[in-house]
Chains A and B, each alone.
Chain A
């Protein structure tokens, strides 16, 4: 059976889907599904489900099963990371000028935002509904790609790999049955039913009033993170876990990242 693959742009990133022995049309359907999730979860699209939730802060809003599940996953990530992976940093992102896709260029920054409230006090979820604290907003960009890769992977095929902007889930034995060969930290790792993700501060970075700013907000300060690490890559049982752990390690910095990852991750690389 031959390797099939497709590449496309969605979620503000390059996406790459691969599989062996896929059902006819699987790649096309998977690409369409990712595109539909982009329309639903992008905060830059005024009609997206996330934008409607942000615009309705303070009142209960009916949400789809996918958004409800992602919000629950975001709350779990907040707990798992000790509060460092926080989807409620929208105010900080807007304050540094990240008001539109960076392909269009950052907007002028505003007054620095304060550190956000705990996510558990900002977001409430109940079956079919969600409510944001008045004056707050969410950006799911920090967890969505890994979460979506985990959901898409089992539907794409038993032997497949879903890579959404560098956050990926490998399923099955890959081309030769030894796992899917994935590049990480200059090495090739053979991943089988495992996820990987990378978090860094050197992309989505721009200058603002003579200072460098980037999109990774430290929820302890409400400002772009000042980590001594530039990039952290992680292999975990799922893409969601890999993304959360990579981001947590980056925010912890080199002093805390090693022990955090040694207790959890299957492989990791720090720079």
Chain B
């Protein structure tokens, strides 16, 4: 009887810990200060080292490109 009680208690404790962890993680995912959100490099930073010059004959856009020029 005591053995059965210990097993039930361990199971309940495990389930409670899992549920509490899930609730905690779910509640903190969109926290800006959460350590699970690594800093993401901006496009400008990704292109650091390149020198881009654009004359008035070409407009820049803030939409995703449909294709790109590249080395082939």
Task: Report A's interface with B, CB cutoff 8 A.
Answer: 3, 5, 12-14, 16, 18, 145, 161, 163, 165-168, 174-176, 178-191, 194, 196-200, 202-203, 231, 233, 235, 242, 261-262, 265-271
Contacts and interface: CB of A to CB of B under 8 A. Distances in A.
A176 B63 CA distance: 11
9 contacts: A5-B66, A13-B72, A165-B72, A182-B69, A184-B52, A187-B54, A196-B69, A200-B71, A235-B58
Given A145-B72, A163-B67, A269-B52, A187 B58 contact: no
A242 B57 CA distance: 14
B64 A182 contact: no
A199 B50 contact: no
Given A181-B61, A181-B63, A187-B60, A167 B69 contact: yes
B52 A187 contact: yes
Contacts of B65: 181-183, 188
A203 B50 contact: no
Contact of B64 (A178, A181, A268): A181
B47 A184 contact: no
B64 to A, nearest CB: 7
Please report whether the interface of chain A is mostly helix, strand, loop or mixed according to DSSP. Answer: strand
B59 A189 contact: yes
Given A166-B69, A182-B68, A231-B71, A267 B55 contact: yes
A176 B59 CA distance: 14
Contacts of B50: 185-186, 269-271
A233 B65 CA distance: 15
